[in-house]
Structure 1
Amino acid sequence: MKIRTLATAMGSMAALGVVLAAPPAHASAEALIRAKCLPCHTETEDGISRISHQRKTPEGWLMSVARMQIVHGLKITDEERRTVVKHLADRQGLAPSETTGVRYAMERRLNTVEAFESEKFTQMCARCHSGARVMLQRRPAAEWEHLVHFHLGQFPTTEYQALGRDRDWFGIALKEMVPELASKLPLQSEAWKQWQARAPQTVKGEWSLSGHLTGRGGFSGVMKVTAGEGRDRYTLAFDGRWDDGRPMQGRGRALIYTGYEWRGDLVVDGTPMRQVFAVEDGMMRGRMFLRDQDEVGADVVASLQQAGNSRVLAVHPAYLKAGEGAELRIVGSGLAGEVTLPQGVKLVGTVKRSATEVVVRVQSDAAARGVHAVAVGKASGGSLALYDSIAAVKVSPAFAVARIGGNGTPTAKVEARFDAEAWAAGADGKAGTEDDFRIGVVPAKWSVEPFDEAAVRDQDVEFAGLMDAASGVFVPGDAGPNPVRRMSASNVGNLKVVAEVAQGGERLRGEGQVIVAPPRWNNPPLP
């Protein structure tokens, strides 16, 4: 299958922040919708035409309102738009289970390689934008049909582009795709009914948080959430530390849509960042990324400190070499009781303990291997990889897209960031088998090489960008024609990403790929 990531599908528009401020007190959402929408839409027995027959994420509704402004001349203030988006996302959103598997679009994971069971869906819907954008909507058949007509009205060349001109695109869209979408993504669903009936979730309190930022490392800490001004609005304060011991602090605010869609806006160590989390049953999961550089982000998991919510979120570091000792930080919620370590790992002493973190010194024996559970009293969920040697190194992500920019142009560069994952051989001692297990992210020496003969010919290593040897952060070249290159080409390229990990007297090698592409011109909330 042709490799295609969200970063290659479309660029992105930094618009999430506009939804965080409190709405004006003088105008209700219903009044705004009547005043702003009914001049074009009509009231029907079952609601307002088009609007009442869709369910979307907050980002989806934001894009709809923005399109009304750009294409149809809707006059609406930023505050009014925030109010409308909040109202629609709360009442016509998606249940948590309906976003499973496609949250990467909301979380700005633009190097995700999409794969769908339906090849027709891939060709008909996911060739111009991400398939996730479609999967994060719900409509009845009549509305999916309207969407087909909208595509040809708004983008008349759709039928003549690749994977369009070789088939009866319009006929297939109406006769085959509309029934398929209406069946798989219906307006009414049992999941949505059940979610609407659920009691509001508890958000206020202390959240134990653990994360990993590619190109920087792991971190953990406590995020205190207090009530803010207005419904579903909160203030937050994060105090933590990186795995290398440096402090990490953040302050900001957050807004919850649809009862669980957490959108945070905060400043961490002087850098503006955003949070896109799903909150459910005392857990937060998602991604935290730079506001103005969304490719720089961290995977995050958090647990609320409350009765009955004892969990181990992570162990920092997540691996231990056989025969060696280390200091481990066990992060979670409700951490009380005896520390249970894998067989072959001895507890030497306890350095520190609280309800959110237990720091212990341990020693493993020479025979300890495999990934094993770590618990603290009734709190479970953590794991520790025990290994004797690294059998293989994998570059993560295996495929990424960077984009040239800057150089006096209005578009910024888009970096590519990589981790080196160490893997151990399974019980048979042979690498590359199904029982191999992941050790974790390890330090590596990074470099780039030409990916193919064309990259050699065009000297892509020299022009496409620079790889930081210590961090795995690749910074692409400048935008614009380069008179030094063949035919004054821009600084695009195709490079092999190489991670070398030292083990004894040898260096283990892992390989990935980075495509250095043209600038990112568009930046929609959902790619």
Structure 2
Amino acid sequence: MKRKLRSGMSASLLALAACAALHAPQSMAARDAQTILKETCQGCHTPEADNALSRISHQRKTPEGWLMSIARMQTMHGLRISDEDRRTLVKYLADTQGLAPSETDGVRYALERRLNTVEHFDDQTSQMCGRCHSGARIALQRRPAQEWERLVNFHLGQWPSLEYQALARDRDWFDIARKDMVPLLAKRYPLDNPAWKSWQKTAPKSDTLVGAWSFSGHLSGKGELAGVMSVSASGDDQFKVTVKGQYADGSPFNGDGSAILYSGYEWRGNVTIDGVVMRQVFAVKGSELQGRMFDAEHDERGLDFIAAKQGSSRLLAVQPGYLKAGSETEVTLIGSGLQGTPNFGSGVEVAQVLEQSPERIKVKIKAAADAKPGAREVMIGNLKGVTLAVYSQIAEVKVVPEFSVARIGEGGGSTPKVQGRFDAEAWGKGIDGKPYRIGVFPAQWKVEAFDDRAKEDQDVKFAGTMQADSGVFTPGDAGPNPARKMSTNNAGNLKVIAAVDDAGKSLTGEGHMIVTVQRWNNPPIP
């Protein structure tokens, strides 16, 4: 059945791998944004009152969202624009038509490339929209009802087969999209929001980010790390970055690069760490930076990152974050403005202060044999916000992420493999019987067939290899494999099993990993 589409197709979220542009500072642009809009965009987008342009002026997006829209104009409508002009335009649009910090809460995992996140949207949104792309992609943009309706029209015009796909052919997709989804999205994600207007008035100046930042992080398969990131200005909202740190095992975490600030708080950087280019996707929250760093070529190889500006007072982390009752260990507190002796609560005493500075305090602590199990708040003076878990025994081991997707690759092709990377989390039970997280423990790792079909197809043999001591799974090569039934590829359906030793007792946890084919369409917002 043919559908009559309403005029004005909406900007889609198709994008190029040019997302690297978001993570690198722009050089001196030959043209300012207003000139670019007039000379490059106004040929299709008509002028409106108050210096606005049709379609463009009626949306708000993240830097990645604006980049994806421009990329779609290039790939679908033949837009010709230089890299410099594209960077200038993304910066301008993200600054003037971006999202407030509160508008990205809960969906930053998409910007940070946490691609194994299991989303939780309502059934209608998941079935109508989330079956093709993440729900976060919708939640990271703002439109009035008319623009949401144009987006629906665009989808059907660009991908007419979507009405015949699963979760669409059994219902009147277009009618539901127009009558139910458009008003829902317009109410949930409106163009006009006081939060954005308020943020534009109160956003701090970027020069407040210049200085040294104490940071803490965790990389799956490697462990905890800490250090100092030094930031210096190199232009309007642009920075030079130097990182000096190390992992808990003593290996270095050093490098330098550059960064740019969008919308007053969206930090995007490119930093080469020990020869590996890593992206930085952080949110600035006052004197704190928080987000994720990940390998530019392998976004699954990423680390959680949190930093506090030196000169402020902030407790970021305790490494390691657990202690067994009746034992002693050395722990390091990471933060800024740290003074005095830390307090770990009743039953835990500080036996010795080994090292002390405003950014780092290393102490030897001892837990009494009858110390109350559970996560207790750690304090240094008035600073708090992190916990130390005391346990007598591990009750349960969990594999994190519980569900993961790895992807075959290489094998003569240009698409790299996507690893599976896992942590083993130990959990205990408090005296009230309620579970609490102890922390990430060393484990021995293996994979097994997830079900009988996987066993019959020998998925363990062909899908890839698990590193027994790190929890890093490397998939097999892409392409047909003559050794497999019907020469199929090296896909697989696997259990991920972690074994943790607790005083001679082995406890295991299980996760689920799908090893599947390459991801050909890999936009900045999945």
**Which TM class, normalised by the smaller chain length?**
over 0.9
Q: Deviations over 1:340-389 (max 9, x none)?
A: 22211111211111111111111111112211111222322221111111
Could you tell me which residue of structure 2 aligns to residue 466 of structure 1?
465
Question: How far off its partner does 1:409 sit?
Answer: 1.1
TM-score by length of 2: 0.95
Give the partner amino acid of 1:328.
Answer: V
Return the structure number with greater relative CO, CA threshold 8 A, min gap 6.
1
Could you tell me which residue of structure 1 aligns to residue 182 of structure 2?
178
Q: Deviations over 1:22-72 (max 9, x none)?
A: 243431011011111011110012510000000000000000000100110
Question: How far off its partner does 1:11 sit?
Answer: 12
Larger mean CA deviation between 236-245 and 493-502 belongs to 236-245
Matched, 1:70 2:45: no
After superposition, residues 259-408 of structure 1 pair within 5 angstroms as: 259-306=264-311, 309-368=312-371, 369-408=373-412
C-alpha distance in 2, partners of 1:220/1:73?
A: 46
Could you tell me which residue of structure 2 aligns to residue 476 of structure 1?
475
C-alpha distance in 2, partners of 1:325/1:412?
A: 44
Matched, 1:204 2:207: no
Larger mean CA deviation between 191-200 and 288-297 belongs to 191-200
Matched, 1:127 2:131: yes
Aligned counterpart in structure 2 of residue 140 of structure 1, from 128, 135, 144:
144
Confirm or deny: 8 A CA contact 1:345 1:363 kept in the other structure.
yes
- Counterpart of 1:97 in 2: which secondary structure? helix
Question: How far off its partner does 1:16 sit?
Answer: 2.6
Could you tell me which residue of structure 2 aligns to residue 4 of structure 1?
none
Could you tell me which residue of structure 1 aligns to residue 246 of structure 2?
241
Question: How far off its partner does 1:476 sit?
Answer: 0.6
C-alpha distance in 2, partners of 1:380/1:272?
A: 34
Give the partner amino acid of 1:219.
Answer: L
Aligned counterpart in structure 2 of residue 80 of structure 1, from 57, 64, 85:
85
- Counterpart of 2:182 in 1: which secondary structure? helix
Matched, 1:218 2:221: no
Could you tell me which residue of structure 1 aligns to residue 443 of structure 2?
444
C-alpha distance in 2, partners of 1:213/1:120?
A: 35
Q: Deviations over 1:398-420 (max 9, x none)?
A: 00000001100121110010000
Confirm or deny: 8 A CA contact 2:107 2:140 kept in the other structure.
yes
Give the partner amino acid of 2:133.
Answer: H
Change (3 A) 1:266 1:407: same
Identity percentage of aligned residues: 56
C-alpha distance in 2, partners of 1:391/1:182?
A: 46
Could you tell me which residue of structure 2 aligns to residue 520 of structure 1?
519
Aligned counterpart in structure 2 of residue 257 of structure 1, from 262, 269, 279:
262
C-alpha distance in 1, partners of 2:188/2:135?
A: 13
Question: How far off its partner does 1:199 sit?
Answer: 4.1
Question: How far off its partner does 1:85 sit?
Answer: 0.3
Q: Deviations over 1:119-146 (max 9, x none)?
A: 1111111110111001000000110011
Confirm or deny: 8 A CA contact 2:14 2:72 kept in the other structure.
no
Change (3 A) 1:54 1:12: closer
Matched, 1:485 2:489: no
Q: Which runs of 5+ in 1 are unaligned?
A: 1-9
Confirm or deny: 8 A CA contact 2:58 2:147 kept in the other structure.
yes
Question: How far off its partner does 1:397 sit?
Answer: 0.3
TM-score by length of 1: 0.94
C-alpha distance in 2, partners of 1:90/1:11?
A: 21
Could you tell me which residue of structure 2 aligns to residue 96 of structure 1?
101
Confirm or deny: 8 A CA contact 1:11 1:521 kept in the other structure.
no
- Counterpart of 1:293 in 2: which secondary structure? coil
C-alpha distance in 2, partners of 1:443/1:338?
A: 29
Question: How far off its partner does 1:112 sit?
Answer: 0.5
Confirm or deny: 8 A CA contact 1:409 1:479 kept in the other structure.
yes
C-alpha distance in 2, partners of 1:39/1:12?
A: 21
Could you tell me which residue of structure 2 aligns to residue 6 of structure 1?
none
Confirm or deny: 8 A CA contact 2:16 2:71 kept in the other structure.
no
Question: How far off its partner does 1:339 sit?
Answer: 1.9
Q: Deviations over 1:410-467 (max 9, x none)?
A: 2111001000001112215xxxx5x111110000000000000110110000001110
Q: CA RMSD in A?
A: 1.4
- Counterpart of 1:490 in 2: which secondary structure? coil
Confirm or deny: 8 A CA contact 2:29 2:85 kept in the other structure.
no
C-alpha distance in 1, partners of 2:403/2:368?
A: 37
Question: How far off its partner does 1:13 sit?
Answer: 6.0
Matched, 1:52 2:60: no
C-alpha distance in 1, partners of 2:503/2:283?
A: 43
Confirm or deny: 8 A CA contact 2:15 2:72 kept in the other structure.
no
Could you tell me which residue of structure 1 aligns to residue 3 of structure 2?
none
The number of equivalent residue pairs is 509
C-alpha distance in 2, partners of 1:33/1:14?
A: 23
Give the partner amino acid of 2:241.
Answer: L
Confirm or deny: 8 A CA contact 2:215 2:226 kept in the other structure.
yes
